[in-house]
Chain A
Amino acid sequence: MKNSIKVQRAIQNMTQAQLAEKAKVSRQTINAMELGKYVPSTVLSLRLSVIFKISVNELFELEKQDWVK
């Protein structure tokens, strides 16, 4: 799964620490998501969509391997 968290964060001029505080998670989690090492829960995804004021579908994108069983 791809995500545009880093891009959105740059657009809104937010540091990882600031986003972490708003999303109620640690900075490690923001970093791991941006590096594609962690897929967030639905709750956290929705929180990010509220913070960035965009839909979840704009923030996350499925890749081919996400369809592999």
Chain B
Amino acid sequence: METNYLLSSKFKRIGLIILIPSLILGLYTLFTDWEPAFFDANVLGIFIEDLSGNNQFIGMVENNILNEILGILVILGGIMVAFSKEKDEDELIAKIRLESLVWAMYLNYGILLLAFLLLYDFSFYWAMVFNMYTMLFFFIIRFNIKIWRLRKAVSYEEQY
């Protein structure tokens, strides 16, 4: 059956090439607060609230844009990996895809619910930062494990 909401299968490889380095670098900058001066820039902001509590609507903000760039690359790469067609995409794979998506959503919100109850202040902030990305990763991991198991089961099966 023809699906029009998935990317062509060649995007899976491109997605991996974007995702893996930006994920590694992204985690590194997150844990080490690495902000090289090269990425300091004045950027456009829509709602700006500075540390002293002054609010401004539309203006320029000084910001290190490395984490923004990496965040965008992780999401774009992740979407390519998650939603590129399998080479043998068919209705069974579509069903596994849907199940994995629901499962990833349950797990992601389950973790966020726990974070609401158990984490406060900055700990909660960190949980939220990760929660933005984990849904994609939960989906990718669960979907690929299921597909891998399916293919393995068939390769054991004899031809007749």
Q: Which residues of A does B touch, CB under 8 Å?
A: 10, 15-17, 24-29, 31-32, 38, 40-41, 43-44
CA distance A44 to B1 in the complex (A): 9
Q: Which residue on chain B has the smallest CB distance to residue A24?
A: B90
In angstroms, how far is the closest chain B Cβ from the Cβ of A32?
6
Chain B residues lying within 8 Å of A29, measured Cβ to Cβ, are: 90-93
A28 touches B160 (CB 8 A): no
The answer to whether B150 has its CB under 8 Å from any CB of chain A is yes
What DSSP secondary structure best describes chain B's contact surface? helix
Across the interface, B160 reaches (CB within 8 A) one of A15, A27, A32, A38, namely A15
- Judged by DSSP, the binding face of A is helix
Chain B hits for A38, CB < 8 A: 92, 95
8 A Cβ contacts from B101-155 to A = 150-151, 153-154
Give the CA-CA distance A29 to B93 in the complex, in Å.
Answer: 8
Contact between A32 and B157 (Cβ–Cβ < 8 Å)?
no
Give residues in B with beta carbon < 8 Å to A: 1, 88, 90-93, 95, 150-151, 153-154, 157, 159-160
Q: Which of B90, B93, B159 contacts A16 (CB 8 A)?
A: B159
Chain A residues contacting B91 (CB-CB under 8 Å) are 25, 29, 40-41, 44
**14 A-B interface contacts by CB (under 8 A):** A15-B159, A16-B154, A25-B90, A25-B92, A26-B90, A27-B154, A28-B88, A28-B151, A29-B90, A29-B91, A31-B154, A32-B92, A32-B150, A38-B92
Residues of B close to A28: CB separation below 8 A: 88, 92-93, 150-151, 153-154
Contacts A26-B90, A28-B150 known; 4 new A-B pairs at CB < 8 A: A24-B90, A28-B151, A32-B150, A38-B95
CA distance A15 to B157 in the complex (A): 11
Task: Please report the C-alpha to C-alpha distance between residue A16 and residue B159 in the assembled complex, in whole angstroms.
Answer: 6
| CA A31 to CA B156, docked complex, whole Å | 11
Nearest A-chain residue to B151, judged by Cβ = A28
Bound-complex Cα distance A27 to B150 (A): 10
Q: Determine which of B88, B90, B157 lies in contact with A31 in the assembled complex, contact meaning CB atoms within 8 Å.
A: B157
A28→B94 CA distance, assembly (Å): 13
Q: How far is it, in angstroms, between the C-alpha of A24 and the C-alpha of B90 when the chains are bound?
A: 8
